[in-house]
Amino acid sequence: MDVTTINILAEMGTNLTSLAVKGTATAIHSKIESLKKEKNTDAMRNTYDEIISQLLSEREEAIRIAQAYKEELEKVVISDEDINHLHNTVERLLEIFKKMSPQAENIDSLEQLKELISVDTLKTMQLLGFNYKAAIGEPLTKLCADAISGIGKKNYKKK
């Protein structure tokens, strides 16, 4: 996890803690108790409106924090469906490689890689804290970006 993500999670945790410690239920209970003695209907309505507004605001904050946690979790979790899709894609790629070069020596090592891509293996590694998207996705993205930049530079030099 990068520093930015850790800082975001820490801030969300702090916000969630302050939301939980606020004592909203106690404060609202005491306001309602004091309203029982109130005779002015306008004051009662205003206080009830204030209570409702406070509850809605805190609910929205709790939902925002929960959604942010969910987004962070989704960044590192790979679903069973995604794993099966990945396995099938690697399998198809291996078949293409075999047809292109039947005597390639690296095909066997790629076959072993395919065997590693199973729901059980990948889920276990995830439970141990392995982040596929950071370990594989980010370097792959950089590699592709560098390759594309290199093509652009070669074409620019030719002109």
What is the tens place of the pLDDT at every residue in 11-61? 888 888 877 777 777 777 888 888 788 788 888 888 889 888 988 888 888
Report residue 75's pLDDT band, with 50, 70 and 90 as the boundaries: confident
Over residues 111-145, the pLDDT tens digits come to 777 777 777 888 888 888 787 777 777 887 888 78
Q: Does 157 have pLDDT greater than 70?
A: no
Burial 6-43 (b: 16+ CB within 10 A, else e): eebeeebeeebeeeeeeeeeeeeeeeeeeeeeeeeeee
State residue 94's pLDDT score: 77
Q: How far is CA 85 from CA 74, 76, 101, 123, in A?
A: 17, 17, 24, 14
Higher pLDDT among residues 42 and 110, named by residue? 42
| Band of residue 156 on the pLDDT scale cut at 50, 70, 90 | low
Contact present, 127 and 78 (Cβ < 8 Å): no
Q: How far apart (Å, rounded) are the C-alpha atoms in residues 1 and 142? A: 17
Where do runs of H (alpha helix) occur along the chain? 3-21, 24-35, 41-76, 80-100, 107-116, 119-127, 132, 138-158
**Every domain of the chain and the residues it spans:** 3-76, 78-126, 129-159
Q: What is the mean pLDDT of residues 55-83?
A: 84
Q: Given a cut of 70, is residue 102 above it in pLDDT?
A: no
